[in-house]
A and B are shown apart, each in its own frame.
Chain A
């Protein structure tokens, strides 16, 4: 299951996206399907909107809890000068669910020199 965070405009939209993610993650977890979240680095650092930062970081924490519960769950952070083909490569790698879980892959260098996410 690949979940791409869409930019929310307010908290009602955050809640709507989180509930959608909850339902899709629950279904994927029950089917033992690997889960990948696609997040934006600028949202993880709070550089765009407050609702966007809330959603991205909530999903990142949720992903780590999925891993703690034994599911194959990972995330990729796009942004900066990320090449779309590179992004697809890493999504595909993580979708195979082999060996790696609870990990956030930054597909760019925009995270360097910033707070760890």
Chain B
């Protein structure tokens, strides 16, 4: 009985692994070898792997003992540019990491999910459309489609949901110019970014029996930004 979290080396992924550890043995996956230190701190098992590489996904499958109770597809990247200036490399890199790897890993585990298992994928508010993110938005929309189709295909044995966060405190947001960040925060009715731990709580809830009757849904955890002018 194992929970798998991709992109678990930092931020939301690490925070999710910390929460899931209370109920499940956890496999923490990341391309960055520092995930080994994180796994030691969390009390889980680390797999240093590239989720876009079939060999990397095989390593994840090999590290799982018994059935999978939770899969959190969190690994993701951005390569932002307006469409007219975006390169094919920028487009494909984001599609492959954010969407292709999640699809391939989720479907590779199809025969290994426990009864009542839960898959949660990290979409984004950007799936509703976002300037400068044609690639990212498409990848997250694709995850929403995957969530809906797999929710139907894997029911009643496995629940499949997604969460769509907005601006979340991270190394990336901390590196943004203060004026840009302040302007983005001003568009959030709750008046602040999300903390990774807050998003992780919602993911842990979607992975728990507390939401046993919820499947095929997207929880938009954006502080109200998707409603604001």
Contact = CB atoms under 8 A, between A and B. Distances in A.
A25 B137 CA distance: 14
Most buried by B among A15, A26, A52, A53: A53
Contacts of B146: 46, 50, 53-54
A23 B135 CA distance: 12
A92 to B, nearest CB: 24
Contacts of A47: 149, 152
Contact of A26 (B83, B103, B151): B83
A14 B142 contact: yes
Contacts of A52: 149
Contacts of B149: 46-50, 52-54
Given A46-B149, A50-B103, A50-B150, A65 B142 contact: no
Interface string B73-108: 000000000111010100110011001100110010
A69 B131 contact: yes
A58 B99 CA distance: 10
Contacts of B135: 22
A79 B133 CA distance: 29
A50 B95 CA distance: 16
B104 A55 contact: no
B103 A11 contact: yes
Interface string B111-154: 00000000000000011111111110111111111111111110
B44 interface: no
Per DSSP, are chain A's interface residues mostly helix, strand or loop, or mixed?
helix
A94 interface: no
Nearest to B131: A68
B152 A55 contact: no
Interface string A41-80: 0011111111011111111111111111101000000000
A26 B84 contact: yes
B88 A22 contact: yes
Interface of B: 82-84, 86, 88, 91-92, 95-96, 99-100, 103-104, 107, 126-135, 137-153, 216-217
Interface of A: 11, 14-15, 18-19, 22-23, 25-26, 29-30, 43-50, 52-69, 71, 102, 115
19 contacts: A11-B104, A18-B138, A22-B83, A22-B91, A22-B135, A26-B83, A29-B83, A46-B149, A46-B151, A46-B152, A50-B153, A55-B145, A58-B99, A61-B137, A63-B129, A65-B126, A65-B133, A69-B134, A71-B83
Given A18-B95, A46-B149, A54-B149, 15 more contacts: A14-B103, A18-B142, A22-B135, A26-B84, A46-B146, A50-B107, A50-B149, A56-B145, A57-B127, A59-B141, A65-B126, A65-B130, A65-B131, A65-B133, A115-B148
